[in-house]
Structure 1
Amino acid sequence: MRREHVIAGEHPARRAARASMGAVTAGRKDEWLGLFAPDALIEDPVGPSFLDPEGRGHRGREAIEAFWDDFVSTIASFDFAVADSFANGPCCANVATITTTTGDGATMTIDCVLVYTVDEDGLITSLRAHWEPDRAMATLTSPA
């Protein structure tokens, strides 16, 4: 069930989260990159994984752009369904399910908590995606 109204509030971090998800869904790389502070950190997922074996994340615009090129751009479509959202201080934590579809039609479902932190200008300083790769991989379907 979609609950877009959950993230409709005008908290700065919630606004940034909404803009980030929208840019990813639409495949707008430059728009997405522009949402991040120059020294921002993306941890997606948090900790070591096949996307980041050392678990250090991707810091700075160059590394964030490489993250897009290496991972985000390989997915044909993203569907974000936010079940709940909690915004306070400089952060917003979204309880979400992301469904990804590859170009050949394979899908994967990622249940996660996405924590966005913004600076005083509303730029994202960190995006921490808490999800379990093994759990997500277990949902991988074969191409249509």
Structure 2
Amino acid sequence: MTGERARKRTAREHSRLVTAGDVDGLLALYAPDAVFEDPVGSGARQGHEALRAHFTATAAGGPAETVEDTVAGQDGCHVLSRITSVSGYRPLGPRYAARGWLAPPHGAEPAFLRRHYALQLRVGPSGLIEDMRAYWGRPDLEVSADGTDFTGPARLTPREEALRRLPETYLARLTGGDVEGTVALFAEDIVFEDPVGGILLRGKDALREHVFRGSAGKVHEVLGRPVSSMDGRFVVIRGDARVRVPADMRMRMITVCEIDDAGFGVHIRGYWGLGDLTMGPAPLTPEPSSPAPERPA
């Protein structure tokens, strides 16, 4: 197990090294047999050789990462960041277009590529990253001619739209006191971890009791921009929540929601650590507008 602060330092260093284009520095953060999937849904790969190829291609675009928040799990190993990255359109843009993840340019090629994503790291006892997952889907890719006016896909699939609406639907029903409507969003065999490493609930009956305790004005939350996955099975959301029962608490969290083919939640993982929890009155933080960080010269 590694402490929350150490894991957060690893996550921040990861983003710093990505922006610096330091491939060797990034590899030094990873265990030799580390597994990674970027994006989730594209297939897992393993080992430093595959990581080097992955980060070399990323570095070629000159990425600049803005970390919007970093939270830790209470399981002693996970840390998650919500990140926005701006890079040159090449070399990754044409690859994404060839895979159908981006619309091929008509006329002049875009100069910039923006990606909204959630980075999940599992850090082992040695302090090295053993597993990396980057959650982002087609709606999380945007292009721009000048680096200021970014546009995403012209149309989303019904599945993509449903995934991105789900967190707002859940929050509206929860804060409105609609317990049964909230529980109806989940499968019968739902697994609910909030926080990961703390509460573990299985099945709708256990979830119903949990929802009842948080409903009817007891929870107030500001949600960030959702990101998804290329396989259409995950939506990840950053939240800033105020819980008033049993005490006045504020929690910064990142929640990973797995959705089945019928659109029901089957596994919910809420990541927040003791360092992401404050007691007493504190203002909620609105989601910042999507930044366009300056790329390194």
Superposition TM-score, scaled by structure 2 size? 0.39
Mapping of residues 45-84 of structure 1, within 5 Å: 45-48=39-42, 55=43, 57-69=44-56, 71-76=57-62, 78-84=63-69
Structure 2 unaligned regions, length at least 5: 91-108, 148-297
Task: Say yes or no: does 1:130 pair with 2:135.
Answer: yes
User: In 1, Cα distance between the equivalents of 2:82 and 2:140?
Assistant: 15
Counterpart of 2:119 in structure 1 is 114
Superposed CA deviations along residues 41-67 of structure 1, whole A, max 9, x for unmatched, are: 12111112xxxxxx2x22011111121
User: In 2, Cα distance between the equivalents of 1:136 and 1:74?
Assistant: 20
Question: Cα RMSD between the aligned structures?
Answer: 2.3
Superposition TM-score, scaled by structure 1 size? 0.75
Larger Rg belongs to: 2
User: In 2, Cα distance between the equivalents of 1:42 and 1:143?
Assistant: 32
Query: Which residue identity lines up with residue 58 of structure 1 in the other structure?
Result: R
Q: Work out which structure has the larger RCO, using CA pairs closer than 8 Å and 6 or more positions apart in sequence.
A: 1
User: In 1, Cα distance between the equivalents of 2:15 and 2:123?
Assistant: 15
Structure 1 unaligned regions, length at least 5: 1-8, 49-54
Give the number of equivalent residue pairs.
125
Task: Say yes or no: does 1:91 pair with 2:78.
Answer: yes
The counterpart of 2:28, out of the listed 16, 23, 34, is 34
CA contact (8 A) 2:30 2:130 kept: yes
